[in-house]
Structure 1
Amino acid sequence: MNSQEFYRRFVWQYQKFWLAVVLAFTIFCGWQVAHLPVVTSTDAIIPRDSLWHYYENFREQFGADDGVAVVLHSPSGIFTPETLAYIQKLTSIFEDIEEVESVLSVTNVEDIRGGEEIFEVEPLIGEEIPADTKSLSYLKERARRNPLIFRNLVSEDFKTTLLLLRTNYRGEDLDFENRLVHKVKHILQKNPPPTSVEIHLAGWPVVNVNMAAYMNKDLMVFIPGCFFLLCLLIYVFLHSWRAVLGAAIIINLSLVAAMASLKLVGGALSPMTSVLAPLTMALALADVIHLTMTYFKLSPKERAVSRAVAITWAPCFLTSLTTAIGFGSLMISRVPSIREFGGAAALAMFIEYFLTFTLFAFLLPWIRRGKFKIGFNKTLVEPLAKSYPWWSYKALILFILVAGISISQISKIKVDTNVIDFFHHSTPVYQDVVFVDKHLGGAQTIEISLENPRGDFLDPKLLKKIDEVARWLEKHPLFYQAISPAEFFKLMNRAFHQENDKYFKIPDSRELISQYLLLYGGDELAHFLNEDQNWARISARTPEHSSEKINEAIRELNKKLEEVFKGTGVKFNVTGKTYLVNRTADDIVKSQVESLATAAFLIFGIMFLVLRSLKLGLLSIPSNAFPLVVNFGFMGIMGIPLNTSTATISAVAIGIAVDDTIHFLIRYRRNRKNREPISAVKNTLREKGNAVFTTSLSLIAAFLVLGVSKFIPTVQFGMLSALVIGLALLADVLLLPAIIYLLRRIF
């Protein structure tokens, strides 16, 4: 039984059954989509490995390091009665937010004071805000002499201050940051600042929520924009409103299936996975176009759906399979969002294939009753085929030249996950972060965890070593201010010696340190030293966002920690949200290499098996390697970094780009049986040219829709993917025929 007879007997004759299957499946997918979670955090790109679990324990012990920074700036200075009263008011209101553990501000920060028989730990500013200049000057001087305040909560010019909202440990509460940031914004709207005081928001929750907001806006544009654009292209290519309606049904069902697939693989909607929607819609159109054009190219006597299916089902299955392999290769990534994106997209490819050869195939007789016209025959396909092989050598020279230039530029590509540069520079979130970086040394921190299994950190020698690391950090060009338990004991030592700056140092006596700790009645030290005094924290603020630079600084920091704590038995670990996000840069490189190698091996292996020819299998490699080489070269020339978005392009692109190569070579192999190479190429161009141009241009258009995003990685993904598909199109219709002509005695 041939494939045509099989389709007629087991699919075509049971249309009602298959339609019922499609309906039930659609309902199931709709249910999954309704319960698809949304991730509003960069946690989505952090591998859930031992470092992540260590960070969770660290955060549970010392509090979250990814809080919200509410920054106030006043040109006249913040130490005025009106501004301090406003800070005090905000501090009190923010403390009532359910998601906030505590609020640290200039009004409630601990000030350790001493004198003759006096030792007290009190807020810098009490309930009453002083109004006289002398008292305000005194408070300002107290702040200047306190490292917990100066260059930490207030800027060096005293014109900028921050309120640090430490969040409750949240586990896997996906909506936590969204709730928190919206509550903060609502409070600020209800309580506007005094005249001339401006407010900026920074911190990981703010960045994450803005990413999610831009993602939602993107989806509101991507889905309808891509849908209407694809429908328009179908009409331009096929001149059939019925074909537009039939394709629109498949596009929409494929979209729902893709989102359901994301839920089924355990994923969530995130800035990384948001490109799945337009990508799936465009790819769903490819099989529709190939089936439709094959059906209408059949002579009236042969024109049967089963005949069109028999011709196209195998090549389309192979293209769906290779595309799925390209996506599926991303599942070896250690980055969760990349892994989820790859798994969902791979599953969606098989679903859209099933929908095309059931539901859409059933609609073909109805589409046939309308007007129909194939678009590129006279304008592109026929002139290209007719002039072949005249242009072959010219095309080869051009392709070799472009590939050579691209290869020379690949080494310029940098691996850099700069989350702030994900936003356009005109966006408020970008401008706020830049402002905080400039005036307060940033809102993000690198955390150092120190554990002493042999004892505790009340040993003066260990405290001095901790202080040595903190001072080294402050001298490092990438760090701004470092806080550790040492600061507290230095402040207490000075207070016990009548505020003499000579004693602003770690005491030499363990007994004295223990006495200070016993008398200390504040809460802030608990964020830097645990109750058993055997686990300590150093927190260093940094205005740098480049993962390349931060990772280099962390390597230097690890060397310093090794040097300082050698022989002490102290275990140290660099941790924190900023560290984990930037560490993914290394995972991205590994993912890129491993995914691309896996995809290439499997895809070209399938090509060799399907074509049943070593020669034709080798012939497919140049036309699919060329787009990838030029893509990397273009990234090097334009300074586009390898990040969480651009890292997925190569594996995805090779799976998509090889589709038209499969259609071309399968048809060429058939034509070659009774024709010489030049004639076989001409016929192949005429027979497959329309479908190749139509599917490629549809994909390019869908990817270009991503260019309207406010999220830079999405724009980069869209533009680079469009570039790769465009180059793959040129390679299939120009480079591939040119190589065949050059080696015509072999092929």
Structure 2
Amino acid sequence: MSYENLVLKRKKLWYLVIFLSVVFFSWQALRLPIVTSTDAIIPRDQEYRFYEEFRQQFGADDAVAVALKARDVFQPSVLKYIRTLTEAFEEIAEIEDVLSLTNVEDVKGGEEEFIVAPLIGEELPESQEEIEAVKKRARQNPLIYGNLVSRDFSSTMLLLRTAYKGEDLDFENRLVKKVHQVLEENPPPEGVEIHLSGWPVINVNMASFMNRDLLVFVPTSFTCLCLLVWLFLRSVRAMIAVGILINFSLIGAMATLKLVGGALSPMTAILAPLTMALALADAIHLITTYFKLKSHRVEEAVRETWHPCFLTSLTTAIGFGSLLISRIPSIRQFGAAAAGAMFVEYFFTFTFLAFVLPWIARGKKSTGLSRALVTPLANSYPRWTGGALVVFLLATFVSLYGIQKIRVDSDVLEFFHPDTRVYQDAVFIDRHLGGVQTIEISLKAEKGDFLNPELLEKIDELARFLKKRPIFSEVITPAEFFKLMNRAFHNEDEAYFRLPRSRELLAQYLLLYGGTELEHFLDPDQTWARVSARTPEHSSEVINREMEVLRQKLKALFANEPVSWRLTGKTYLVNRTAEDIVKSQTESLALAAVLIFGLMFMVLRSLKIGLLSVPPNAFPIMANLGLMGLVGIPLNTATATISAVAIGIAVDDTIHFLVQYERERKKKDPISAVKATLERKGLAAITTSLVLIVGFLVLVVSRFIPTVQFGELCALVMVLALAADLFLLPSLIKLGRRFF
């Protein structure tokens, strides 16, 4: 059945379908959730399930740190403020417990006895003598000195351990909001600075930047794209029609994200401007084709464009769809939603936009820009082909050199600009208090328990090893608690700040211990122990390299012991994900390339023409990766997706070019066929490429650096893809004109 019989003669029915589709998509889009946690990028695999079990046993490791900077944090006014904050934070439902100077446990002893009591009692120290006595106690406790308070006593932190249980998309947002509310209701004394950091704070700030970005991206993209339509076509009616099409496509894309089980996150936020730009690409081809037809028949314009436009939508969807093999949940959701959005915009283009083409044509319009941009290029062909091949060849060699220098690194802190508060607060805590992030080590005794002095000594040896490693600032293990108890039991004699060699004495200490902090590091059966190593390092490249050293140490240390060990924790999982990203994106790119070029061979029904499509699409990807290596842009959660996405988009103009070239080649020689193809498809290629470039460049206004990098690099890929289609492809045809 022809398009005319199936669609054009049933406009009322299709208008109803369009209306119902928009209503349904709008309903779905309004229900789209927002994810504020970096958990969105962590694969839900065995490692994640173990982490959930570990967190259930020992409490959350992704705490909020409220750091205070003062001349002396042990001054009565500062201690009073810390106590006020501690009590207020303990009232927050999302907080399990609070650790601060005013409630941290201290082990005080005498002759063969000890008690566990807060470092600071009910009465705050007032005199200088009392303050110095408390400072002395703090210096003697490694769980406090250099850990909860800086060594110069100018900084301290309140550690807010979260009460997170299961999947709760709004948990961190509620938590951070309540923390800010407490701080607003309790302003600090004069001379006291407050700094806030930790995974929940970083995650909520990511979501905040994302929301702000969307408020900028959508109207900015919409305005720029509509202006581009007017600039190239000089048609107000075309601009209005395309504006409506863009809105329909945007709503459809957000609905698709909801339907595939996704949510708005820093990864999926780029879907909005991306869909808007891609929706315009098919529209430009349909409108420019219609304007050039003398008959001005809609069915004729559709007949000429539906096939290549369907292929371009399909190849772009394949590029996005290749991300489905990623182990990263948010990347899979982005790929699925973007792939589905391509078919949504194709549907609206060849129904709604096709219906209003006659109305558009009745208004003022102009395609004179084609003569200014494309005609000179076509007329001068093939004189410039030799120089073009040399330029592309040199660029290829430089790109191959740059690719060797590319590195994998997801530094979450570097996702923010240095002038943002979240960045500055994190840096302050890293420098003065050793950071908030921790690498967690799980130790399980397969036989016996950790009251075995030999096993406890192994844990202490591990702690000493970690403290010597450059990326770790502080290490807490169950051994530290027993050393404190042993010293206290022997009348605070420093010579006894060591592990007792008697199992019976360890059991006695555990019986006498009346505190609760040890529960975060040793389970009630003493068969599961936690080693927590704090780090100010954020680079996944550095952390993953250190993890390999740590694995070797753990293997050697527990080689002959009945202990199973495992690395875990939020920081470990997030940084491990960086390796997964590169592996999965390499696989995604390979899958996309095989499927897209395989499709090209099938559709073009020519091995020669199919091979001709490879260089102009491989070059932009190679050049993009080469540039990343040369300028030091790492592969991270945003930039790693560019290649698989870009190959699906970059091939679009190649398809239009080669389909038209085959039509022209049936009646002309290769040189004349290229000239005619450039005249026929050159303006649409330039227009759609500029539309995509502008659509991606809108992302550079973001305050979220991965989004900026994604926008810049994708815009570069579009520039290179356009250059390859207009210069490299014709040059290759000239070079192999006997075969093509």
Q: TM-score range by the shorter chain?
A: over 0.9
Q: Structure 2: how far apart are the matches of 1:515 and 1:691?
A: 82
Are 1:283 and 2:271 counterparts? Answer: no
> Given the alignment, which residue of 213, 226, 232 partners 2:227?
232
| 1:25 aligns with one of 21, 27, 33 | 21
Query: For residue 274 of structure 1, what is the amino acid of its counterpart?
Result: A
Q: CA deviation at 1:376?
A: 2.8
1:55 to 51, 75, 79: 51
Which residue in the other structure is 2:347 paired with? 354
List 4+ stretches of structure 1 deviating above 2 A.
Answer: none
1:13 maps to a residue whose letter is: K
Q: Residues 202-601 of structure 1: matches in 2 within 5 Å? A: 202-299=197-294, 302-601=295-594
The alignment status of 1:706 with 2:699, answered yes or no, reads: yes
* Deviation digits for residues 35-94 of structure 1 (CA, Å, limit 9, x no counterpart): 1110001111100000000000000110000010000011x2111111111111111110
- 1:116 and 1:398 map into 2 onto residues whose CA distance is 84
| Aligned alpha-carbon RMSD (Å) | 0.8
Q: Which residue of 2 aligns with 1:16?
A: 12
Residue of 107, 115, 130 corresponding to 2:125: 130
Once the two structures are overlaid, the 10-residue window that deviates more, 595-604 or 405-414, is 405-414
CA distance in 2, matches of 1:339, 1:534: 38
Inter-partner Cα distance in structure 1 for 2:522 and 2:249: 54
Q: CA deviation at 1:543?
A: 0.6
Q: Give the superposition deviation at 1:567.
A: 1.6
Q: Which residue of 1 aligns with 2:715?
A: 722
1:152: which partner in 2? Answer: 147
Give the drift of 1:128.
1.1
Q: Which of 29, 36, 59 does residue 40 from structure 1 map onto?
A: 36
Q: Does residue 683 of structure 1 match 2:683?
A: no
C-alpha separation in 1, matches of 2:301 and 2:439: 61
SS of equivalent residue, structure 1 residue 489: helix
Query: Secondary structure at 2:374's aligned position in 1?
Result: helix
Residue 53 of structure 1 aligns with an amino acid whose one-letter code is R
Deviations 1:429-481 (A, max 9, x none): 11111111111111100000111121211111111111111111111001010
Distance 2:429 2:376 in 1: 60
3-state SS of 2:473 partner:
coil
* Secondary structure, aligned partner of 2:589: helix
Report what 1:187 is aligned to: 182
Query: Of 104, 107, 118, which residue of structure 2 is paired with 1:109?
Result: 104
1:192 shift after superposition: 1.1
Q: Secondary structure at the match of 1:437?
A: helix
For the residues of structure 1 that align with 2:243 and 2:122, how far apart are their CA atoms? 65
Q: TM-score, normalised by structure 2?
A: 0.99
Aligned length: 740
1:610 corresponds in structure 2 to 603
Question: Could you list the runs of 5+ residues in structure 1 that have no partner in the other structure?
Answer: none
Amino acid at match of 2:30: A
The offset of 1:564, in angstroms, is 1.1
Residue by residue over 1:613-644, the C-alpha shift from the partner in whole angstroms, topping out at 9 and shown as x without a partner, is: 10000001110011011101110111000000
Q: Is the 8 A contact 1:59 1:169 kept in 2?
A: no
Q: Matched residues in 1 for 2:464 and 2:84: separation?
A: 34
Deviation at 1:194, TM superposition (A): 1.1
Q: Deviations over 1:655-677 (max 9, x none)?
A: 00000000000000010011011
Deviation at 1:117, TM superposition (A): 5.5
TM-score, normalising length: structure 1: 0.98
Indicate conservation of the 8 Å contact 2:664/2:676, yes or no: yes
Q: Of residues 638, 641, 660 in structure 1, which corresponds to 2:653?
A: 660
Are the aligned partners of 2:112 and 2:490 in contact in 1 as well (CA < 8 Å)? no
Q: Deviations over 1:190-245 (max 9, x none)?
A: 11111111110010000000000000000000000000100000000111111011
- By how many angstroms is 1:409 displaced? 1.1
- For the 8 Å contact 2:410–2:635, the answer to whether it is kept is yes
> What per-residue deviation string (whole Å, max 9, x for no partner) do you get for residues 470-497 of structure 1?
1111110010100010011000000000
Contact 1:375 1:690 in 2 (8 A): no
Q: Which amino acid aligns with 1:397?
A: V
Aligned partners of 1:478 and 1:100: how far apart in 2? 28
Shift of 1:186: 1.3
For residues 510 and 581 of structure 1, the distance between their equivalents in structure 2, rounded to whole angstroms, comes to 38
1:171 and 2:166 matched: yes
- Secondary structure (helix, strand or coil) at the match of 2:613 reads helix
- Contact residue 38 and residue 174 of structure 1 kept, 8 A: yes
User: In the TM superposition, what is the alpha-carbon distance from 1:19 to its structure 2 partner?
Assistant: 1.0
In 2: Cα distance, 1:55 partner to 1:433 partner: 24
- Further displaced range: 168-177 or 701-710: 168-177
Q: Shift in Å at residue 118 of structure 1?
A: 4.2
2:404 alignment partner, SS class: helix
Q: Provide, for residues 242-291 of structure 1, a one-character-per-residue CA deviation record: whole Å limited to 9, x for no partner.
A: 10111011100100000011011111100000000000000000111101
Deviations 1:304-336 (A, max 9, x none): 111110110000000000000000000100011
